[in-house]
Structure 1
């Protein structure tokens, strides 16, 4: 039986979380990106060492919104590989959510 097309898709839990983007200034690092990919990230979001995203404390500068309520990545389409591989409910997600007092998903 086909799914009812009137049902709305569930929003990503990430849009009401953001904990992984506010866990450690060392986490949003560059790893496998080539220069062409890195050039797509606006320079104001890149740290002085050019090794990862600029952070304000432990919070990635590209994260907008309030942790645990509503968040978004201002560079989502060009975010680093480490950000692309973090998945809702994985070990890194759980660790970050616990640090912010959010329930593990």
Structure 2
């Protein structure tokens, strides 16, 4: 199993999910080619075809409760913006603060 199939069980992302609920403007498509975007199920893509569809600020592919237990419904197909967000990076810290969670320590 690689990092592109499922996050490791010890990943701090699964009990968090803050980055996926931070802003409807965050999960934007940037470097994906058309072939990669075509793999993302249509129900998860916004009407402008510019990013992930959100319910409020929360990505529609996110399941579970932020800060408790979450998962990505399209983890294997997630866009590049989701792949580049890393535990403990500045974007992670900003999203965690919004939900009242302490920043993660970088390893």
TM-score normalized with structure 2 length: 0.88
* Structure 2 counterpart of 1:76: 75
The 5-angstrom pairing of residues 16-95 of structure 1 reads 16-95=15-94
* Structure 2 counterpart of 1:4: none
Q: Distance in 2 between matches of 1:60 and 1:33?
A: 18
Unaligned runs of 5+ in 2: 1-7
Deviation at 1:10, TM superposition (A): 6.0
Query: What is the Cα-based RMSD across aligned positions, in Å?
Result: 1.0
SS of the aligned residue for 2:35 comes to helix
Deviation at 1:103, TM superposition (A): 1.1
Which is greater in Rg? 1
Deviation at 1:98, TM superposition (A): 0.3
Count residues in correspondence.
Answer: 97
Q: Distance in 1 between matches of 2:9 and 2:83?
A: 19
